[in-house]
Amino acid sequence: MKTWTVDSVGARIAVYEYGDPLASSTVLLVHGYPDDHRFFEPMIRVLGQRVRIVAYDTRGGGATTLDDPDSLESYTLAHLTEDTFAVVDSIPHRSGPLHVFAHDWGSVQMWETMAAPRAASTFASFVSVSGPSLDHLREVSRARAVSPRQWSSMATQLLRSWYIWSFHIPVLRRFVPSMMVSIGNEEAPEPERRNQQRGIALYRANILRRLLSGPDPRCEVPTTVVVPLHDRFLSADLADGLERWIPDLHVMTVDGEHWWPYTHPADAAEVVLSLQ
C-alpha cells in the first residue's frame, strides 16, 4: 500500500493505493458513513493485483483533516466533489480508464461528482451501492406526495431514514450513532466513534438543503446501481425512474443487506471487474 495526502479546499485528503500500479485500469473506491477507506479492505484483497486501486478518507472519516471541522460548510457536496477530483488528479502516472465504486454516503456524494462537466471525460463507469442521488430523491418525494397510491412507500422510506432526521435534532444527534450500534447489525464493520460523530455533519450540511431545492439530476457516465434487497435503510423502489436521467443505466438487485460490499466482497469485486 502507498499513501499520500492531497490538498483540497479547506482539507487535506488521505489517499491510499493498492493493487498493481501498472494495471490497465484504475478503480476509485469511495466509502460512506460511518466508515473510512478500510471498509473496502475485504474487497481490495479479492481484487488483488488485477487492477490499480485508489481509496481515500472522505471528509469526516479516517485520517482526512479539515481546517474548520466544526463548520457545516466544510462538508457540502460541492467541497466533496472538489475532493474527488483533487484525488483523481493526484494519482501518479494514471493511464487507462478510471472506474468508480461507491457505497452509502460515498455514493450520495458521487452523484454530485457525476453531474460535474468533466465527469464524462474522467470516469469510464460508476457503480452506486445503497446511496441515492439527493436530487433524484427530491423528485421522487414530490411525485409520491401528490399520488395517494404511493404514500405508503414514502412513509416506509421516511421510517427507514429515522437516523437522518435525528441527526438534525441537537438533543438527539449525539446519541444516534450509539443507538444505531445498539440496534445491532452483526454484518456491519465495527465503527470508530470518531468517524461516527464527525460524519453527522455530512447529513446536516446537505440533506434538508438539497431536498428543498437543487438542480435536476444528471449523469452521463455509464452507471450500475446495485440494490441490496434487504437494505434496512433504503427501499428498493428508490431506483425507480433513474432511467429518465441516466442514459446508460443498469440496475441489479443482490441478496444482501446495506453493507453488501463488505459482507460479499467477491461479488462486489466481480461487478467491478465486469466493467473493465
For 17-70, the pLDDT digits (tens) are: 999 999 999 999 999 999 999 999 999 999 999 999 999 999 999 999 999 999
For 71-82, the pLDDT digits (tens) are: 999 999 999 999
Provide mean pLDDT across the span 114-127: 98
- CATH code of 2-274, in short, is 3.40.50.1820
DSSP string, 87-140: HHHHSTT--S-EEEEEETHHHHHHHHHHTSTTHHHH-SEEEEES---HHHHHHH
- The pLDDT confidence band at residue 160, using thresholds 50, 70 and 90, is confident
Q: Which helix (H) or strand (E) holds 27?
A: strand 26-30
CA contacts within 13 A on the Cβ side of 234: 28
Provide mean pLDDT across the span 94-103: 96
For 166-189, the pLDDT digits (tens) are: 887 887 777 677 766 556 565 778
Task: Report the distance separating Cα 219 and Cα 204, nearest Å.
Answer: 24
Q: Where are the domains of the chain?
A: 2-274
For 197-229, the pLDDT digits (tens) are: 999 999 999 999 999 999 999 999 999 999 999
Provide mean pLDDT across the span 7-20: 98
What does the block give as the cell for 232?
Answer: 434496512
pLDDT at 172: 73
- Alpha carbon distance, N-terminus to C-terminus of the chain: 22
Query: Would you say residue 246 has pLDDT above 90?
Result: yes
Whole-prediction pTM: 0.93
